Amino acid sequence: MTLRPRQFDLIAFDWDGTLFDSTQIITRCIQLAVVDVGGAKPSDEAASYVIGMALMPALAHAAPDVPEAKYPLLNERYRHHYVQHKDDIALFDGVLPMLDALRARHHWLTVATGKSRRGLNEALHSSELKGVFDGSRTADETAGKPHPRMLHELMREFGVEPERTLMIGDTTHDLQMALNAGCASVGVSYGAHAHDQFEPLKPRYVAHSVGALHDWLLTHA
């Protein structure tokens, strides 16, 4: 197969639900944390909707009946439950070969995530991905999604223009962030949000598996 010239110099990936198969565990941990502090258990849909947002806004959105004074405890209980399960989470099948192929094409590979810096570093270490990514931004060190600051900072760091930048994610927060930053996006349907919500945000493509994403990137990115 003859590959087309590279269209994007910088590719930014969301983490949870895009590269990391963590959606169900995060949803369950949010539900447990809300109940722990006396809130009504959010539905699966409500809990999964906030994945990708910065942690405290996400927990506040998922638990509207929990008073703000309990947010620190809510945060603590979420982290307690997540730590119990973090070793149960793994990369989606096919992610490492896809990243290796993109590195061979000399794309800058980055992560733009709603996780904390500590959480991302732990995930990178546990999945043996240290050194695979050229840069990253987390929600606790810049503005959370869908604010475009994460992408603006990554583009500035690598000297890449918006038209040469691609954001890949599994939520409307990811695709809205790309739109706000003037970047192209690709959605994946195997994560937190239903792909029928993606169309208004104009992704270039919606991948229904890592293999389909890999193939599209090699041909179109």
Q: What is the pLDDT of residue 193?
A: 76
Report, as ranges of residue numbers, the positions in the chain whose pLDDT lies below 50.
1-2
- Across the chain, the runs of DSSP E, i.e. the strands, are 10-13, 108-113, 135-138, 165-169, 184-188, 205-207
Q: What is the pLDDT of residue 55?
A: 74
Nearest-angstrom CA–CA distance, 2 and 54: 41
Q: What is the pLDDT of residue 13?
A: 98
Q: Model pTM?
A: 0.79
Q: What is the pLDDT of residue 1?
A: 44
DSSP 29: H
Q: What is the pLDDT of residue 107?
A: 96
Nearest-angstrom CA–CA distance, 174 and 187: 8
Assess contact for 115 and 16: CB atoms under 8 A.
yes
CB neighbours (10 Å) of residue 133?
19
CB neighbours (10 Å) of residue 191?
25
Report the side by side order of strands in the sheet with 165-169: 135-138, 108-113, 10-13, 165-169, 184-188, 205-207
Q: What is the pLDDT of residue 123?
A: 84
Q: What is the pLDDT of residue 86?
A: 73
Q: What is the pLDDT of residue 4?
A: 59
For the stretch 137-168, pLDDT in tens is 999 999 999 999 999 999 999 999 999 999 99
Q: What is the pLDDT of residue 3?
A: 52
Nearest-angstrom CA–CA distance, 60 and 200: 26
